[in-house]
Amino acid sequence: MKKRYVLLIVPFLLYVALLGVLPQMEPDEVRYSLIAGEMNETGNYVTPRIKNTIYLEKPPLVSWATAASFKIFGENDFSARLFSGLCAWGCILLVFWIGRRFRDERTGLYAAAVLTISAFPFVLGRINILDMPLTLFLCLAVWLGYLSVAGEKNRWFSYGFYFACALAFLTKGIVGVVFPFAILGIWLVWERRWRSLPRLISPVGILIFLAAVCPWLYLAQKENPDFLWFFFVREHFLRFTTQMHGKTEPFYYFLPVLIGGTLPWSVFLIRAWQPAKWKEAFFRKEGNRFLAVWFLFIFLFYTVSSSKLVTYIAPVFLPLALFAGNIFCSYEEAPTEPAGKRGALYRLLLWVQFLVIVAAMLLPPVLKQYHDPSLGLVIMISDACWWIYVLPVFAAAGLMAFIPDWTARQKGTGWFLSVYLLCCLLLAGLLFPLNDFLSPYRSALVAKEAIARHVPQGKLLYQYRVNFYGIDFYNKIRTPIVEDFGEMGDGIAKLPEAERKTYFLSRQDFFEKVRQKKEIYCITQHEARLRELRAQFARMDILWENGAFYLLRIRHEGKGWKPYEDS
């Protein structure tokens, strides 16, 4: 494989050029876009705000980068995701660097290719959230820390280690500092390199770290007297030691995430794995232990943590790609056909993967107009476009089942290259049906034109028991929220009373507001909430709906209203 394709051209196409295919999804993506937009609007880059409420749960580095992207490219889906996409690209380059250092350039290319076609980083690298930037900076810190204690005589590796820790801290907090030091410390103990432990501590490095993070900490505390307790105690210590955030999951939660995140290439690993040459599939002992500690520490930490989210284990996919890339590289040096049970399992899983992909593409048309409010799921797809969108997916999935093996038999080379290219085609092709599937109910972009057309200029648009940040982002308005405040609760409490009563209402307050104003525009989601409103108001016009969103005009004429009673 040629370096420029694996490291430059394909990552650019997958992780940058296609960023705007899907609109931003609720709620996380648009939350960070709205924060960045408000930073540019207010000129305050110290205290993040969302809907004018203080939001100090996370540090501001990603918001700063997104705000800069908005300044350059305007506020749109592409510019909102650009920093995350570039960080995913950075992870690919980092994996190449590590693979080349541990073995050779060819191994680095294979490892970079594996990470490029892994479903987990492919998805995460096109979402405007914190986890892909954190993954880049945290993993860069781990690697630079390794180089600084692994016999390299260049002190700049140590300085870079501390600076990368600072960037990771400014992305998502103290995890960006604790994890690199913990991984490197455990690895050095395992290697019995006790004398190298003090080399992790660098006075100059500490000064670099403090110079990078302290200005924001100082200014944030100056503007918000409760910041340090809120940020360090509640959002770090209590988040991972208690269930206060309600993100509890079973201990095996990350296992299916790990398996699914390595698709579609992981099926081909069965062919590439050669038990007779298992020693060649790994790096030298030092490298194996380092990558193993990197992977296991992060995976086990979040497994036992009280707080679990899918995105938390993103940094484990880099060492995983290095191991897998080395296996693929070793296999291609002397490829053989898998025989016996291994060959049967390989062929079975190839076709199982193909059938699962086909079934996933056929299911939405079968379940069209399916609603499940408990899951927040509404299936609405376009009949004509859907089949156009899924044809490249069917083609890529079908070709993956026989083209790589046919290439190996006919030419003796090019097996992994065909795997790589077909996986790229599959992942890129999936974006278009995903857009058709997710956008109608997970993105507020679908309501943008209807809101502009039906809601008079200057009229407030209320969000009834929903909170779609995208309505504010795409329509450039501020919408009052009725009873779905989410993570804004702490910031709302700090607002002036008049602003709270205007923009953050209980249901009772909202119903009173309708009675006082006589006419109100609002948007909501799911028929159950629509029925709630019908039960309160006799005159309610549906101005626009798509089966998931409902844009309403509610009128009150002194009758047909009763005080709300919470059941």
Secondary structure of residue 54 in the 3-state scheme: strand
- What tens digit of pLDDT does each residue of 503-536 get? 999 999 999 999 888 899 999 988 889 989 998 8
> How many Cα atoms within 13 Å fall on the side-chain side of residue 384?
0
User: Rounded to 5 degrees, what angle do the CA atoms 445, 446, 449 make?
Assistant: 90
400 and 295 co-located in one domain: no
Local structure of 282: helix, strand or coil = coil
Model confidence pLDDT, tens digit, residues 193-209 = 888 899 999 999 999 99
Other CB atoms within 10 Å distance of the CB of residue 485: 16
Name, of 34-43, 436-445, 517-526, 544-553, the range with top average pLDDT. Answer: 34-43
C-alpha to C-alpha distance for 401 and 397, rounded to whole angstroms: 7
* Confidence check: pLDDT of 28 > 70: yes
Average pLDDT over residues 50-63: 94
Give the total number of structural domains in the chain.
3
Q: Does residue 454 register a pLDDT over 70?
A: yes
Do residues 24 and 148 both lie within one domain? yes
Left, alpha or beta for 456 (phi > 0: left; psi -120 to 50: alpha)?
beta
Residue 560 forms part of a structural domain: no
How confident is the model over 311-333, as pLDDT tens digits?
A: 999 999 999 999 999 999 988 88
Long-range own/partner contacts, residues 478-482 (CB < 8 A, 24 or more apart): 478/51, 478/52, 478/503, 479/51, 479/503, 479/523, 480/504, 480/505, 481/51, 481/505, 482/506, 482/507, 482/509, 482/510, 482/522
Full-model pTM: 0.92
The whole domain housing 370 covers 340-441
Which pLDDT score is estimated for 368? 66
The confidence score (pLDDT) of residue 19 equals 95
Assigned domain for 82 exists: yes
Q: What number of other Cβ atoms are within 10 A of residue 94's Cβ?
A: 22
Residue 372: pLDDT band with limits 50, 70, 90: low
CA 529 to chain centre: 29
Are the beta carbons of 522 and 463 closer than 8 angstroms?
Answer: yes
Predicted pLDDT of residue 333? 80
In a domain, 491, yes or no: yes
Is 244 a residue whose pLDDT tops 80?
Answer: no
Closest of 133, 32, 118 to residue 87, by C-alpha: 133
Residue 362 pLDDT level (bands cut at 50, 70, 90): confident
- What is the band of 420 on the pLDDT scale with cuts at 50, 70, 90? very high
Computed over every residue of the chain, the mean pLDDT equals 89
Whether residue 138 sits in one domain with residue 40: yes
- What is the predicted pLDDT for the residue at 547? 81
Q: Among 333, 351, 370, where does a domain finish?
A: 333
Last residue of a domain, one of 441, 463, 479: 441
Q: Quick one: pLDDT at residue 567?
A: 43
> Predicted confidence band at 178 (pLDDT cuts at 50, 70, 90)?
very high
Residue 468: phi, psi to the nearest 5? -100, 105
Domain shared by 422 and 508, yes or no: no
More confident residue, 547 or 58: 58
- Residue 562 inside a domain? The answer is no
Residue 198 lies in a domain: yes
Which of 419, 441, 463 is at the close of a domain? 441
